[in-house]
């Protein structure tokens, strides 16, 4: 189970990062109907009128005998990001007993510095990671011309589902090969660093499976933007294909997985469901994004997943 938690932790960290990268920016002056790619380019590249935003992000994962949910509320301002939330996991064993645990967390990112506070059991810990901080900063920043072209190149097609004076809703179909190339480039430019992946073999195996899985996947999302501020109103991703294909790639590797992990991978490969949903909140929701008082004295650790002092107690029912 601890090995599964470590693997899951890596996915959890990636999900945290996705929470910041899925916010996208948008804008455009009132114009007659335009085709999908032009509408998308306009939305991606226009400067945001108000660089502040409060959002709610939910990531839900289901597979027989296991359900996991990552829920978080975040606040962005310029290149800074704060997120508060929690991970909840429910697992049903072969004996029918249910195990569940909740892990609250708080993320504080300022440009190239990021600190993640988390409470796996009765005590708060914190760790810092420059790699995730840099990626998060890039994700919430207004894209420059080069970034816009990279984003456009990763999109296969766009359909404008709804256009009003106030909003635009688009169905965006991603180019799986281009997305896989971006994953490979990111992995090459950001090798395992202390705090996020002390085990290079595990990290590289995971990233390789993710890249190959993405090449097989069918990924799309529905994005609604506010045409007065060009910020995200809602964004909905269907990620089931990505996790299923990634698990299938892992099962095909010339590697003998522990039986427990092999069973989980098989379930994910054929029976899993994973979806993400983002919604913009009113500015007064920022008061929800506060570092818990007891977390201010958190013990510093050097690695999020491997540090022997960090344990998760899973109560059985």
Q: What percent of the chain has pLDDT over 90?
A: 46
Would you say residue 310 lies in a domain?
no
Place of tokens 């060009």: 230
222-261 per-position pLDDT tens digit:
999 999 988 899 999 999 999 999 999 999 987 777 888 8
Cβ atoms 118, 292 nearer than 8 A: no
**What's the confidence (pLDDT) of residue 172?**
96
**What's the confidence (pLDDT) of residue 193?**
56
5-57 per-position pLDDT tens digit:
444 444 444 444 444 444 444 333 344 457 899 999 999 888 776 678 899 99
For residue 3, pLDDT beyond 70: no
Would you say residue 278 lies in a domain?
yes
Q: How far apart are CA 103 and CA 112, in angstroms?
A: 25
Would you say residue 114 lies in a domain?
yes
Q: How far apart are CA 174 and CA 26, in angstroms?
A: 18
Q: Which of 77-81, 91-95, 115-119, 267-271 has the lowest mean pLDDT?
A: 77-81
Would you say residue 317 lies in a domain?
no
Cβ atoms 44, 150 nearer than 8 A: no
Q: Whole domain around residue 255: which residue ranges?
A: 2-300
Q: Read off the tokens for 278.
A: 């983002």
Would you say residue 307 lies in a domain?
no
Would you say residue 132 lies in a domain?
yes
Would you say residue 316 lies in a domain?
no
For residue 87, pLDDT beyond 90: yes
Q: How far apart are CA 226 and CA 228, in angstroms?
A: 6
Q: How far apart are CA 144 and CA 141, in angstroms?
A: 9
Q: Read off the tokens for 174.
A: 């991603």
For residue 316, pLDDT beyond 60: no
Q: How far apart are CA 312 and CA 253, in angstroms?
A: 29
Most confident of 77-86, 238-247, 303-312: 238-247
Counted domains in the chain: 1
Cβ atoms 142, 25 nearer than 8 A: yes
How many angstroms separate the first and last alpha carbons of the chain?
16
């Amino acid at each position: 189970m601890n090995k599964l938690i470590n693997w899951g932790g890596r996915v959890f960290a990636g999900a945290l990062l996705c929470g910041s990268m899925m916010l996208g920016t948008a804008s455009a002056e009132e114009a007659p109907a335009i085709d999908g790619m032009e509408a998308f380019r306009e939305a991606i590249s226009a400067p945001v009128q108000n660089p502040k935003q409060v959002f709610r992000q939910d990531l839900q994962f289901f597979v027989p005998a296991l359900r996991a949910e990552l829920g978080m509320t975040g606040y962005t301002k310029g290149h800074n990001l704060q997120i508060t939330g929690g991970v909840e996991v429910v697992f049903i064993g072969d004996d029918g007993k249910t195990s569940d645990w909740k892990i609250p967390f708080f993320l504080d990112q300022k440009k190239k510095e990021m600190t993640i506070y988390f409470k796996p059991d009765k005590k708060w810990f914190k760790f810092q990671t420059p790699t995730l901080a840099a990626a998060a900063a890039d994700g919430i920043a207004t894209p420059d011309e080069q970034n816009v072209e990279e984003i456009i190149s990763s999109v296969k097609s766009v359909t404008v589902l709804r256009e009003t004076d106030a909003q635009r809703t688009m169905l965006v179909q991603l180019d799986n090969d281009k997305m896989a190339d971006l994953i490979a480039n990111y992995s090459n430019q950001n090798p395992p660093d202390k705090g996020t992946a002390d085990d290079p073999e595990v990290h590289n195996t995971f990233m390789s499976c993710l890249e190959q899985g993405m090449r097989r996947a069918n990924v799309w999302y529905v994005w609604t933007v506010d045409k007065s501020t060009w910020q995200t109103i809602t964004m909905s991703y269907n990620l089931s294909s990505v996790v299923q294909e990634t698990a299938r790639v892992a099962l095909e590797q010339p590697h003998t997985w522990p039986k427990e992990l092999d069973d989980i991978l098989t379930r994910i490969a054929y029976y899993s469901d994973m979806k993400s949903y983002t919604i913009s909140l009113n500015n007064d929701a920022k008061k929800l994004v506060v570092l818990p008082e007891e977390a201010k004295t958190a013990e510093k650790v050097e690695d999020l997943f491997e540090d022997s002092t960090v344990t998760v107690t899973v109560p059985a029912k």
